Amino acid sequence: MKLKVFCLLIPFALLGSPRAAVGQMLDTNLDRYNALITKVNADVKAGKRTEAELADDLGQFDVLLAAEKGARTQLASHILWQKGVLYLMLFGDPDKAKACFMELKTNYADMVPADKLNAVLDDLEEQLLAKKARDALPPGSAFADFKMTDVAGQPLSVSQYKGRVVLVDFWATWCPSCLMEMPNVIATYDKYHAQGFEIIGVSLDDDKNRLLSFTQDKKMPWREYFDGLHWQNKLSTKYGIMAIPASILIDAQGKVIAWDLRGDELPKAVAKALAK
């Protein structure tokens, strides 16, 4: 999956040791901190990815933070950073991430590079707006349509396919995960198009010729929206897309069925929608 926001924006290494930066931090607390970081890394490597799965680790961060007894220390600032990183990059929870980074800005401004912190907060605001856009289109809601033109300059909207099941597919030729999923998308189209299934591609490419060559070579006959704006693509921005591949499946009545169906889930959902 290609993400719009990267952890490189964060001034300390992702779940890395702060030994060089902590100055006079008590060795006991530092050793406990480093042991916890090692455990978190191991848990993530073992496949734990959710807040619930890492609840014990998060609790240990809070225990360490409480051990600082409210003091504004380098250890406390690092704990907040690491929690913010986890909520931002692993759990996909920008609200909780923002709470961590805002506390840093308020209480630890002299310990954190201001330009890096402001960059992270700016990206968090973008993620919160994206989350709001996606939350506004839950399954069962009426799809908020668009009126654009396709790569051939022809009018393009979901409403043009009224009475048909439509997949709005956000992707790019430079996205490895998109290319891995594309054979499944093509196979689903080939199997169900004659029964009333359509796809509207939304390409985040910045090279139109590359896009056209790729779609022709892979025999992707559906229409594509392209504006060359990469992550600033007008439709991906409208619908809060922060990672690709992404998709919205819409039923024949123009209501959202589901977001981000991949693998076997996609053809199963299309078949079910067409059977109604």
Confidence of residue 34 (pLDDT cuts 50, 70, 90): confident
Ramachandran assignment for 17, one of left (phi > 0), alpha (psi -120 to 50 degrees), beta (any other):
beta
- 154 with 270, same domain? yes
- 105 with 193, same domain? no
Q: Among the three residues 82, 113, 135, which one is the final residue of a domain in this structure?
A: 135
Residue 37 has pLDDT above 90, yes or no: no
Number of structural domains found in the chain = 2
- 91 with 182, same domain? no
Q: Among the three residues 135, 162, 186, which one is the final residue of a domain in this structure?
A: 135
Output the six-digit token pair for 43: 């848990």
Residue 140, in any domain of the structure: no
Residue 227, in any domain of the structure: yes
- 162 with 55, same domain? no
Q: Contact, 179 vs 211, CB < 8 A? A: no
- 127 with 179, same domain? no
pLDDT in tens, 108-123: 888 877 777 888 888 7
Confidence of residue 126 (pLDDT cuts 50, 70, 90): confident
Q: List CB contacts of 71: < 8 A, sequence separation 6 or more.
A: none
Residue 177 has pLDDT above 60, yes or no: yes
- 111 with 35, same domain? yes
- Rounded average pLDDT over 87-106: 87
Residue 251: CATH number of its domain:
3.40.30.10
- 54 with 112, same domain? yes
* Whole-number pLDDT of residue 93: 86
- 269 with 174, same domain? yes
Residue 214, in any domain of the structure: yes
- Rounded average pLDDT over 180-207: 98
* Whole-number pLDDT of residue 16: 44
Residue 265 has pLDDT above 60, yes or no: yes
Residue 142, in any domain of the structure: no
- 178 with 124, same domain? no
| pLDDT > 70 fraction of the chain, expressed in percent and rounded | 90
Confidence of residue 147 (pLDDT cuts 50, 70, 90): very high
Q: Which residues form the domain of 68?
A: 2-135
Q: Considering only 8-22, 54-68, 109-123, 130-144, which range has the smallest mean pLDDT?
A: 8-22
Confidence of residue 27 (pLDDT cuts 50, 70, 90): low
pLDDT in tens, 204-250: 999 999 999 999 999 999 999 999 999 999 999 999 998 899 999 99
How far apart are alpha carbons 230 and 233 in whole angstroms? 5
Q: Among the three residues 135, 163, 178, which one is the final residue of a domain in this structure?
A: 135
- 98 with 187, same domain? no
- 129 with 157, same domain? no
What secondary structure does DSSP assign to the chain, as a single string?
-EESS-GGGSSS-TT---TTT-TT--HHHHHHHHHHHHHHHHHHHTT--STTTTHHHHHHHHHHHHHTTT---HHHHHHHHHHHHIIIIIS--HHHHHHHHHHHHHH-GGGS-HHHHHHHHHHHHHHHHHHHHHHTS-TTSBP----EE-TTS-EE-GGGGTTSEEEEEEE-TT-HHHHHHHHHHHHHHHHHGGGTEEEEEEE--S-HHHHHHHHHHTT--SEEEE-S-GGG-HHHHHTT--EESEEEEE-TTSBEEEE---TTHHHHHHHHHHH-
- 157 with 121, same domain? no
Confidence of residue 74 (pLDDT cuts 50, 70, 90): confident
